[in-house]
Amino acid sequence: MTSSSMTNAPSTPAPAFPHRHLLGIEGLTPLQILHLLDKAEEEVHVSRQVEKKKNVLRGRTQINLFFEASTRTQSSFEIAGKRLGADVMNMSVASSSVKKGETLIDTAATLNAMRPDILVVRHHAAGAVHLLARKVSCSVINAGDGAHEHPTQALLDALTIRRHKGRIEGLTVAICGDIVHSRVARSNILLLNALGARVKLVGPSTLLPSGAARLGVETFTDMKKGLDGADIVMMLRLQRERMNGSFVPSVREYFHYWGLDQEKLAFAAPDALVMHPGPMNRGVEIDPEVADGPQSLIAEQVEMGVAVRMAVLETLAEHLPTV
């Protein structure tokens, strides 16, 4: 999936991260994932200093191209780019203006002509970022494409988990809620499987994807069984338009059976930690008491997000042409 750069001369040693783009977790080896996580640890230190600025991206142009609004992901990439010294430009393209006739490829060609070094792309359709990556000459980072992948989210989740549990391998991770529409779930499944975690998906059958068993995960419709023994409970956001009868009959029924409250959290391991990619619907998929409670890592996930995105930007920048 992730296209690798084939330009390295045979004499140079294989780089730790040989890809030009980060389009998904699919295609990354466990070592490449660990390389990014280790790099991100360094970036956490940088971000916690008073002087947060590095200059590895000085002179580079990073464009955040968001076809779908996302305040937190966009600002996270923006801060990450700026801390590395890049010139960051945000472009929010409402999907309506794209429908006026300009295809994604036209947009790509236009942007490419502005000679950016890195494009960070969020799009509402699966595969859109791959399509774009084929048409531009810079590095492309997938910041979420439809229900397909959101690799930096999975990396920041892994970083957060590893900092608390010391490892990923051997952990049991329950991913709960709207799996079928979730790119976060897909990227997390791929990453957690690659690093040797046991992944359980929990949710109503209408929100579990078809063919899930073939992805190397177990599925549960009952939170008690699904959370049993879980070291990590990862909650997903339920979109408002899916709440009223289309996928689940009502918010109150959904919360009753699948909302994470203290009672259901008690099914998990005693030291289980709670995560959520945000933005949360308190009272829909998660009880405020849990979201803001001692087992919650939700605020820390945001901090790790910046570190992971810095690590990805810096790693890809190593492959940018220097002449």
Q: Which residues bind other proteins (CB under 8 A)?
A: 1, 26, 101, 103-105, 123, 125-128, 130-131, 145-149, 183, 186, 209-212, 214-215
In whole angstroms, give the CA distance from residue 237 to residue 277: 8
**Of residues 60 and 123, the one with the C-beta less far from other proteins:** 123
Closest distance to other proteins from the beta carbon of 174 (Å): 19
Please say which residue, 78 or 157, places its beta carbon nearer to other proteins: 157
Q: How far is the CB of 230 from other proteins (least distance, A)?
A: 22
Q: How many helices (H) and strands (E) does the chain have?
A: 12, 9
Rounded to whole angstroms, how far apart are CA atoms 55 and 173?
37
Instruction: Using the structure block, give the residue that is written with the tokens 């959290």.
Output: 265
Please report where in the chains the tokens 């992805």 appear, as a residue.
Answer: 215
Nearer to other proteins, 81 or 204 (CB): 204
What sign has the CA pseudo-torsion 273, 151, 241, 281?
Answer: positive
**In this complex, which beta carbon is closest to other proteins, that of residue 83 or of residue 183?**
183
> Which residue number, 107 or 301, has a Cβ lying nearer to other proteins?
107
* Element (DSSP H or E) covering residue 307: helix 298-317
Give min distance, CB of 134 to other proteins, in A: 8
Burial 21-51 (b: 16+ CB within 10 A, else e): bbbbbebbeeebbbbbbebbeebbebbeeee
CB of 46 to other proteins, least distance (A): 33
Minimum distance of other proteins from residue 274's CB (angstroms): 25
**Token pair for 283:** 């009272």
* Nearer Cβ to other proteins (148/200): 148
Please tell me the distance from the alpha carbon of residue 198 to that of residue 172, in angstroms, as a whole number: 5
Q: Is the peptide bond before 279 cis (omega within 30 degrees of 0)?
A: yes
Q: Which is nearer to other proteins, 81 or 144 (CB)?
A: 144
Q: How far is the CB of 125 from other proteins (least distance, A)?
A: 3
Nearest of 84, 76, 40, 36 to residue 58 by alpha carbon: 84
Closest approach of Cβ 189 to other proteins, in Å? 10
